[in-house]
Amino acid sequence: MKRSYAYETHAHTTEVSSCGRVRAADALRMYKSVGYQGIIFTDHFHDDYVSSLGNMSWEAKIDCYLTGYREAAKVAGELDMDVLWGMELRFTENDNDYLVYGIDSDFLKGWVDLHRSSISVFMESIKSRADILVYQAHPFRDGCRLVDPVIVHGLEIYNGNPRHDSRNNLAAQAAAENSTLILSGSDFHRPGDLASGGVFLPERISCNAELITALKAISYDALIAKEPVCK
């Protein structure tokens, strides 16, 4: 039987996310210990975070945002782990969160005050970019509102965070009804969240292009979840 590789798609670090309780390099070691092959770090990027960085330049703020990922990348080789980064982006228009994959630092540095835009403007700006994917995170959690699934590429239909009721069954139903891409993630913040979600991929990934190709092919059978995910 062909081997598959487990990847975490939704993880936060204490270096960047105020709610994170585990340093990025330690998170990588923890995931290594339970058999995962890598992590795509998705630290929070929202008004509270950007404001917390004070009056530094936008470029410097983006460099700060990548601190957790860069710390993990330093130890990835010795651990034989794969490390990439995306973001959990929240616009000031509401409390919805979006998992964004495929972007790079130049993209972020080139869009000053990105978080003050909107999901519709953001999606319009990347509509010709086949190398970027956007999923609404935990769309049925309290405080969130399901965006029109036609706008985004997909939905996080399984969120493994044990401190929130993400109503994953409703997210799965919405994805099925609208034929969107699907995703599972642990929403890792602390040790107790370890390996509660993620995806199985048929090959290892080492760059955004490989990640995007793999995510576009995700099926229900490839989702890692602690409870059944209904189609």
pLDDT < 70 stretches in the chain: 1-2, 230-231
CB 114 within 8 A of CB 107: no
Closest C-alpha among 115, 180, 111 to residue 147: 180
Please give the pLDDT value at position 176. Answer: 96
Is the full-model pTM beyond 0.75?
yes
Tell me which DSSP letter residue 221 carries. Answer: G
Please give the pLDDT value at position 226. Answer: 86
H helix or E strand, kind and range, residue 29? helix 24-33
Please give the pLDDT value at position 228. Answer: 78
Domain ranges of the chain: 5-225
Q: Report phi then psi at 141, rounded to 5.
A: -70, 150
Alpha-carbon torsion, ordered 49, 50, 51, 56, to 10 deg: 130
Report the CATH architecture of 5-225.
Alpha-Beta Barrel (3.20)
As given in the structure block, the two tokens for residue 99 are 């998992």
Please give the pLDDT value at position 1. Answer: 47
Please give the pLDDT value at position 231. Answer: 62
